[in-house]
DNA sequence: ACAAGATTTAGAATAATACTAATTTTATTA
DNA sequence: TAATAAAATTAGTATTATTCTAAATCTTGT
């Protein structure tokens, strides 16, 4: 893994589902000299290594996330994405699909507590 | 729903997860006169009515599908998408998330029987 | 240090989709 | 049915995210 890719992986790990552009801006904010092309190159490399996952968005830029097996809750009002961990989900999937699976992308739409005025 | 939107909905219902361009080509094949803009306009209208769902693809055009609650199995070798029905999934989700959900997008990656050489 | 290869780069190219403003179609009213 | 209002459709352009290209720079092994 290159130095730049490793920095980008760090950023993905401490950021909240950033887009390529979010990452590029963070890189700049940190005072690191890196071109947008390198951000895309590194993201593609990290993705093909399986170090990150891509979350293509309906009408918007793709978001990136660490590749821990987990799903996402997406608020249909404000768009905020939060992580969703369901420990037995792989087991559940294997049982229900009747076959081995290599991974999953689960997004659950809801209205977050803030948008429901509960916070 | 407009006449064109209704025709597009038909096409989505009998096609296999088409892209906007697939739909446009099918419309032309049927001898219907319709511009690409109308395909996009109609898809947006159908989507906001909840009549269809959008499946943004990693590196590729968004695919469209009927809005029946169901997931998808995606072959990581050939890319083929097939429908996945899990009847108790909404119940399972409500239980595991502890909240009401408005819908979900579940994609399970696997290697399809054909790509495993079993067919 | 030097060569070989990998990485990074700026900028152009591409592809999907959205926008705009004008036109056509459809629906409503008199 | 004719006139009018509203909605849908259109061609063409603009935008945006992303990829490509070919040159420049950095790294690594010897």
Q: What is the pLDDT of residues B69-113, one digit of tens each?
A: 899 999 988 999 999 999 999 999 999 999 999 999 999 999 999
The answer to whether B103 contacts A92, with C-beta atoms less than 8 Å apart, is no
Distance CA B117, CA B111 (A): 10
> Which nucleotide is closest to A43, CA to C1'?
D18
Which domains are delineated in chain A?
Answer: 3-66 (1.10.10.10), 71-110 (3.30.1490.190)
B26 and B12 in contact (C-beta within 8 Å)?
Answer: no
Q: Which pLDDT tens digit goes with each residue over A22-77?
A: 999 999 999 999 999 999 999 999 999 999 999 999 989 999 999 988 999 999 88
B89-97 and A89-97 helices, crossing angle to 10°? 180
Q: What pLDDT shows up at residue B14?
A: 97
The answer to whether B97 contacts A104, with C-beta atoms less than 8 Å apart, is no
**Shortest Cα distance, chain B CAs vs residue A33, angstroms:** 26
In the β-sheet with A71-75, what is the strand arrangement from edge to edge? A81-84, A71-75, A103-110, B103-110, B71-75, B81-84
Q: How confident is the model at residue B115 (pLDDT cuts 50, 70, 90)?
A: very high
Q: What pLDDT shows up at residue B10?
A: 98
State the Cα torsion A61-A62-A65-A68 to the nearest 10°.
150
Which chain B residues are within 8 Å of A59, Cβ to Cβ?
54, 56
The answer to whether A62 contacts B57, with C-beta atoms less than 8 Å apart, is no
Q: What pLDDT shows up at residue B51?
A: 96
């Amino acid at each position: 893994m290159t130095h730049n890719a490793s920095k980008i992986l760090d950023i993905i790990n401490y950021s909240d589902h950033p887009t390529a552009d979010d990452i590029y801006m963070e890189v700049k904010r940190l005072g690191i000299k890196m071109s947008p092309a390198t951000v895309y190159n590194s993201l593609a490399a990290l993705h093909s290594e399986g170090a990150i996952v891509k979350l293509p968005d309906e009408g918007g830029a793709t978001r990136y996330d660490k590749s821990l097996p987990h799903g996402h809750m997406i608020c249909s009002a404000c768009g905020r994405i939060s992580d969703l961990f369901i420990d037995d989900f792989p087991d559940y999937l294997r049982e229900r699909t009747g076959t081995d699976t290599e991974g999953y992308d689960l997004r659950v739409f809801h209205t977050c507590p803030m948008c429901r005025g509960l916070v």
